[in-house]
Amino acid sequence: MVGGGAGSFIGAVHRMAANLDGEIELACGCFSASYENSLATGRRLFLPDSRIYASYRDMIAQEALLAEGDRMDFVAIVTPNHVHFDPAMQALDKGFHVVLDKPMTFSLDEAWQLQEKVQQTGLLLALTHTYTGYPMVKEARFRVRRGDIGKIRRIYVEYPQGWLAENVSESDNKQAGWRVDPKRSGKAGSMGDIGTHCFNLIDYITGLRAVDMCAELNAFVEGRLLDDDGAALIRYEGGAKAMLAASQVAVGEENNLSIRVYGEKGGLEWRQEEPNTLLLKWNDKPTEALRTSHGYLSAAAKHNTRTPGGHPEGYIEAFANIYRNFALTLQCRLAGETPPPEYLDFPTANDGLKGMQFIETIVAASSGDKKWTSIINR
């Protein structure tokens, strides 16, 4: 692991998710830019001092010298955005697979380079777009792709949070501090942090290709350099239209992510704060409430469900589904076997590239004077 030392929120989440199914063991780490912090973290995680490193470059170089079976098989990078690209490239250069927090990189140019490196090496890269790991999101994808609700016309996705409604400093909140700093977060604030989840959710469920967007980004908190709120209209190939909104100044909201997709025959709705339920909506019959752990669900939903119905499966389990599917795919690779489709169901570098295109485009659309801005490539 790179990152995830004392004071980190997401590092502990990654470790819980990786541990949940017993498929992954933490072998080594550089958990902080401070060796003292890294050493203390590694010892708390029962690593020997010899596998706790002062820098990620040292870790990757030293692990590459170990015999296969002793060295790490992959690296999880759980740092702020500006420390995604280099450790990922270093790992791929040395033949290591990668799990990477989102957004994939600091800039679109880095995203292109990283995607090309993944293609050149043939190695695996998983991106932790957590919400695609929920069983009922996978059921929504299955129902849409099967054509249950017909050709897609309209999509609404929103993610309101309230935790950045007031000014924060690094000393007040370490997690907030780097997210509002353009030197560490990149071009976008709320849109890079949670807007990318919204965009990815549309892409995962519908498979539609975004063409262009009209957008407005706002920084409501005085002195804030990055957006803390925004909205976009997005046009998709084939004629579908989406409304996307993300805010971190929506006072009183926690993580109220939701998506509604409407086709020619029906609609569906999923909410992250009630994740075990998927609603199917019709004009000529009552709304159906699909629930996890039932025999009528798709193979994808069943594969990613662990507990009997009525036992909530939430954020950690969804995160763990990405790690488990990645691990099962990697095990097949190491054994020279072809992984089945359900193992390959995790976000990849291609999804990361789309996320960075979204960030680049929404910032350009908000700051430019054109009504519509085409999805930016290079």
pLDDT tens figures, 259-303: 999 999 999 999 999 999 999 999 999 999 999 999 999 999 999
The domain made up of 135-309+352-366 is a member of CATH 3.30.360.10: yes
CB distance 162 to 194 below 8 Å: no
**270: enclosing H helix or E strand:** strand 267-271
Q: How confident is the model at residue 312 (pLDDT cuts 50, 70, 90)?
A: confident
**Hey, which bits of 114-240 come out as E strands?**
125-127, 152-160, 210-218, 229-236
CB distance 334 to 186 below 8 Å: no
Alpha-carbon distance of 162 to 164, in angstroms, equals: 6
Alpha-carbon distance of 244 to 213, in angstroms, equals: 10
Dihedral, CA of residue 80, residue 82, residue 86 and residue 87, to nearest 10: 0
**pLDDT of 158:** 98
Domain boundaries for CATH 3.40.50.720 within the chain: 10-130
Q: How confident is the model at residue 7 (pLDDT cuts 50, 70, 90)?
A: confident
Average pLDDT, the chain: 96
Residue 145's φ and ψ, nearest 5 degrees, are -65, -30
CB distance 103 to 192 below 8 Å: yes
Q: 184-240 pLDDT, tens per residue?
A: 999 999 999 999 999 999 999 999 999 999 999 999 999 999 999 999 999 999 999
378 vs 11 pLDDT, higher one: 11
Domain boundaries for CATH 3.30.360.10 within the chain: 135-309+352-366
CB distance 20 to 9 below 8 Å: no
**Rounded to 5 degrees, what angle do the CA atoms 77, 179, 231 make?**
110
Pick among 3.40.50.720, 3.30.1600.10, 3.20.20.70, 3.40.50.2300: CATH of 10-130: 3.40.50.720
List the strands of the sheet with 373-374, edge to edge.
288-291, 277-281, 267-271, 258-263, 152-160, 241-247, 229-236, 210-218, 373-374
What is the percentage of the chain residues whose pLDDT exceeds 70?
99
Residue 178: strand, helix, or coil: helix
**pLDDT of 169:** 65
Q: 81-127 pLDDT, tens per residue?
A: 999 999 999 999 999 999 999 999 999 999 999 999 999 999 999 99
10 Å Cβ neighbour count for 179? 24
Q: How confident is the model at residue 170 (pLDDT cuts 50, 70, 90)?
A: low
**pLDDT of 49:** 98
DSSP 8-state symbol, 221: S
**pLDDT of 177:** 85
What is the percentage of the chain residues whose pLDDT exceeds 90?
94
Question: Does residue 134 have a pLDDT over 90?
Answer: yes
Alpha-carbon distance of 325 to 217, in angstroms, equals: 35
CB distance 80 to 103 below 8 Å: no
Q: What's this model's pTM, rounded to 2 decimal places? A: 0.96
CB distance 42 to 30 below 8 Å: no
Residue 219's φ and ψ, nearest 5 degrees, are -120, 90
**61: enclosing H helix or E strand:** helix 56-65
DSSP 8-state symbol, 170: T
Q: In sequence order, which residues have a C-beta less than 8 Å from that of residue 70 and are 6 or more positions away?
A: none
Q: Which of 224-228, 277-281, 344-348, 374-378 has the lowest mean pLDDT?
A: 374-378
